[in-house]
Amino acid sequence: MAGLRNFDFRRHLPSTTFVALTLLIFAGLAAIAIYLGVYNIAADAPHYRPTYWLIENLRDQSIAVRAKSIAVPKDLADPKRASAGAGLYTEMCSGCHLAPGMEKTEISQGLYPQAPELARVSDHTPAQQFWIIKHGVKLTAMPAWGKTHDDKLIWDMVAFIQQLPKLSPAQYQEMTSDAPMDHDAIMKETGDMQNTPHEEAQPHSHREGAH
């Protein structure tokens, strides 16, 4: 221990000048690479494995940290919430994230990174799903739906996404068959359901039966 205390670390560390020059050289090389367009930004040219690993971990940790303080509604498992979110999911999300029995779309095939098929599996908690839907994710095609949709609507979508892996193609079609085709009509119908007192609400019986 005495030898360690007497060890002069400064003699074995690079000088400040050396560190500054090294950083300057790396910055210069990076600037040259950017100017020459060395990195292929095309969506059909996959990242190198280390690059993808870095981006994936940065994304997942960023989402997890920011979702920690989000309180999940106690009625998230209420079938009415999932029913309200079914039409929104079909209109806004299924083109990229697909649905039970749905073939890959032109959009989903062209995305990079590929959007997760939420009918198969989701690695995120409800709070994390809410954060993702509300704020979007940089460097992907995931938009920030919170700019145009309030928290209630977003939680309805989360409620439906929680049920999605449990649905057969027939059950999915049954839940979404009578959803309005027009997005504004979907928004109005969902808003009317939310504004209707619980004891007076009359949701479609076949939607509840899907659960």
pLDDT 10s digit of each residue in the chain, 211 long? 555 565 555 665 777 888 899 999 999 999 999 999 998 999 999 999 999 999 999 999 999 999 999 999 999 999 999 999 999 999 999 999 999 999 999 999 999 999 999 999 788 999 999 999 999 999 899 999 999 999 999 999 999 999 999 999 999 999 988 766 566 766 776 666 555 544 333 333 333 333 3
pLDDT of residue 42: 94
pLDDT of residue 208: 35
In three-state secondary structure terms, 148 is coil
Q: What is the CA angle 142-168-63, rounded to 5?
A: 25
pLDDT of residue 4: 53
- Answer whether 92's CB lies under 8 Å from 145's CB: yes
Place of tokens 């059950």: 171
DSSP state of 41: -
pTM as predicted: 0.77
Give residues with Cβ within 8 angstroms of 173, minimum separation 6: 101
Place of tokens 């704020």: 135
CA–CA gap between residue 117 and residue 100 (Å, rounded): 9
pLDDT of residue 199: 35
pLDDT of residue 179: 67
